Amino acid sequence: MFEELLEEIAQKNGLRGVSTSLKLATGLGALLLTLSATGYPGPLFIALALTGALLLLARIDPRTLVEVYAAPCSFAVMGVVVIVLVSGGSGGAWSWQPLPWLSLSITPEGINRGWMVLCRTLGGVASLLFVALTTPMTDLFVVMRSCRVPPALIELVMVVYRTIFILLDQLVRCYHAQVMRLGYSTRREAVRSFATLCGAVFIASWNAGEDQIRAREMRCYDGRLVPLGGTRPIEARPVLAVAGFLALGVVVTVLSGGMTLPGGAG
Amino acid sequence: MHIMEGFLPATWAIVWWLVALPCLLLGLYRLRRLLSVDREALALLGVTGAFVFILSSLKLPSVTGSCSHPTGTGLSAICVGPWVTSVIAAVVLLFQALFLAHGGLSTMGANLVSMGIAGPFVGYLVYRALRETPVSIFLTVFLASALADLVTYVVTSLELALAYPAEVGGFFGSFTLFLGVFALTQVPLAIVEGVVLALVFKYIVQLKPEILVRLGVFSEERIVATQRGLADAA
């Protein structure tokens, strides 16, 4: 189930000591470059560079990284297949009209469009993963407060964050107990067990939430949760590295604007 | 199935953020008002948010090979209303992006419109329409949850079709195909989610009915009558 969240990996990654603002600037800057690119080399460069940084600098286990990339890639591939089929164009190798208002074909233009979307998704996912795998949520709370995000929202984010771990703990224990009692042996039994699991976890978490309120009130809780942790200093070398990476990203993106795969008009 | 980071062109990512933001701001206003009169509501919102996070993180393969998951937002809309649910969904989507690489930051506006606004609103309308009728509590929860789930996927297909219209057939051609790949395959899963959440409600009615009374989900008389019915059936 949820034995390992990206959050747990982020807590012990090699870039844990680097300034949160700098890591966010890297991830968000790379994301903006990816979204503004009109040719495929820019997003591909971002994806490769940030994956390399995750493996070499953040020291993320390669197998874990492949697993983490698998889910977004499966969605991207399914979506890209649809985009290739509906894009149309000339010189197609195959075409089919299953419905009067729907024509499917595979053409160089369609392949180019799909390839561009795939590269953009890879660049976007790499940017997101760079933030997710190097920055624990607890560090983001501090940044959110300094960015003047509404206190009610920060408070809700922090409470949900804490409750997720209470709920996960209950869920994993109940689930294993059900599996040991053959609770998922048949389809019908599985639906019943899953519903019981959700109900039991909901009630247990409710009780844990009420305990939390009582504990807070005993500590003179006045409606404001204080996120722990200070801001990390911004050092010169990481700043130069990030500036260099983003500058190179801009150059690649601008120079490769409009570039398509050979043989396609894009 | 959330739309992954980078999948939508920048223009459409911005458009969906602009659609989502007013709903999110209204949800925040309602949340502040709720917390100012009832501090204990925070724990409930935490539980609901975490519950939606867990449910919508259970990725299940669907028939076409695409990835589907329950949304859980129908339950949230019934318990705390659709506006606050949009804020809870925003928090859940942020956590899913950062904890599980599921969804994204630029595509969060689009995902929020489908999973946090359109789905919960439909679920809530179904619940409000049936709440005061003789229809059973469990059938009401089943219909609200299943339709909230299904509408989420229909809206996701709509968002994808608007961003990538077909050359022949335009938006409708593309929408048909996206609907076939991502939404039709969701029908069995939406039914399963409806059944599961109805059973969760049955469990809560039997063991901790005061939660439902406190939230005003159903009246005390209806819950007592349902408990009596369950006891007679057993």
Chains A–B, number of C-beta pairs less than 8 Å apart: 255
- Distance in angstroms (rounded) separating the CA atoms of residues B54 and B103: 14
Distance from CA of A164 to the nearest CA of B (A): 5
Q: What is the mean pLDDT of residues B180-192?
A: 81
CB–CB contact A99 B160 (8 Å): no
Tens of pLDDT, residue by residue over A37-75, are 999 999 999 999 999 999 999 999 999 899 888 878 887
Tens of pLDDT, residue by residue over A224-237, are 666 666 667 778 88
Question: Smallest Cβ distance to B167: which of A88, A156, A167?
Answer: A88
A215: exposed, middle or buried (Cβ count in 10 Å: 0-12, 13-18, 19+) = exposed
Where do the domains of chain B lie, and which CATH numbers do they carry?
10-233 (1.10.1760.20)
> Are A18 and A232 spatial neighbours (Cβ–Cβ below 8 Å)?
yes
CB–CB contact A124 B165 (8 Å): no
Which residues of chain A does B46 touch, with a Cβ-Cβ cutoff of 8 Å?
156, 159-160, 162-163, 209, 212
**pLDDT surpassing 50 at residue B208:** yes
**pLDDT surpassing 90 at residue B203:** no
- Distance in angstroms (rounded) separating the CA atoms of residues A250 and A246: 6
Question: Smallest Cβ distance to B67: which of A34, A71, A198?
Answer: A71
Q: What DSSP element (H or E) covers A94?
A: strand A94-99
Best mutation target, A2, A80, A164, to test chain B (most B CBs within 10 A): A164
Measured between CB atoms, does A89 come within 8 Å of chain B?
A: yes
Q: What is the pLDDT of residue B99?
A: 81
Distance from CA of A165 to the nearest CA of B (A): 9
Q: What is the mean pLDDT of residues A141-164?
A: 82
Residue A133's Cβ-side half-sphere holds a number of Cα atoms within 13 Å equal to: 26
Measured between CB atoms, does A87 come within 8 Å of chain B?
A: yes
Highest mean pLDDT among A5-9, A173-177, B9-13, B216-220: B9-13
Which tokens in the block code for residue A217?
């009130």
Minimum Cα–Cα distance from B51: chain A residue: A202
Q: What is the DSSP letter of B68?
A: E
What ipTM did this prediction achieve?
A: 0.83
Q: What is the mean pLDDT of residues A24-38?
A: 94
Q: Supply φ then ψ for residue B176, to 5 degrees.
A: -60, -45
Q: What pTM does this model have? A: 0.87
Q: What is the DSSP letter of B4?
A: P
CB–CB contact B49 A89 (8 Å): no
Best mutation target, A206, A210, A225, to test chain B (most B CBs within 10 A): A206
Q: What is the pLDDT of residue A97?
A: 80
**pLDDT surpassing 80 at residue B182:** no
Strand partners, A104: A96
Distance from CA of B64 to the nearest CA of A (A): 9
Question: Smallest Cβ distance to A163: which of B9, B46, B101?
Answer: B46
Distance from CA of B130 to the nearest CA of A (A): 22
Q: What is the pLDDT of residue A266?
A: 44
**pLDDT surpassing 50 at residue B63:** no
Q: What is the mean pLDDT of residues A188-214?
A: 81
Q: What is the pLDDT of residue A228?
A: 63
Question: Smallest Cβ distance to B176: which of A102, A140, A164?
Answer: A102
Q: What is the pLDDT of residue B226?
A: 87
Best mutation target, A163, A169, A172, to test chain B (most B CBs within 10 A): A163
Q: Are strands A102-106 and B67-68 parallel, antiparallel or unpaired?
A: unpaired
**pLDDT surpassing 70 at residue A183:** yes
**pLDDT surpassing 70 at residue B10:** yes
Please state, rounded to an integer, the average pLDDT across all residues of chain A. Answer: 85
Instruction: Tell me which residues of chain B, numbers 123 to 142, contact chain A at a CB-CB cutoff of 8 Å.
Output: none
Q: What is the pLDDT of residue B65?
A: 44
Tens of pLDDT, residue by residue over B104-158, are 899 999 999 999 999 999 999 999 999 888 899 999 999 999 999 899 989 999 9
CB–CB contact A75 B4 (8 Å): yes
Measured between CB atoms, does A171 come within 8 Å of chain B?
A: yes
Q: What is the pLDDT of residue A78?
A: 85
CA B191 to chain centre: 14
Q: What is the pLDDT of residue B64?
A: 47
Of A215-219, B170-174, B225-229, the least confident: A215-219
Best mutation target, A198, A220, A224, to test chain B (most B CBs within 10 A): A198
Measured between CB atoms, does B202 come within 8 Å of chain A?
A: yes
Distance from CA of B158 to the nearest CA of A (A): 13
Which tokens in the block code for residue B130?
């049936």
Comparing A151 with A22, which gets the higher pLDDT? A22
CB–CB contact A157 B94 (8 Å): yes
- Distance in angstroms (rounded) separating the CA atoms of residues B198 and A27: 41
DSSP-assigned letters across all residues of A98-152: EETTEEEEE-HHHHHHHHHHHHHHHHHHHHHHHHHHHS-HHHHHHHHHHTT--HH
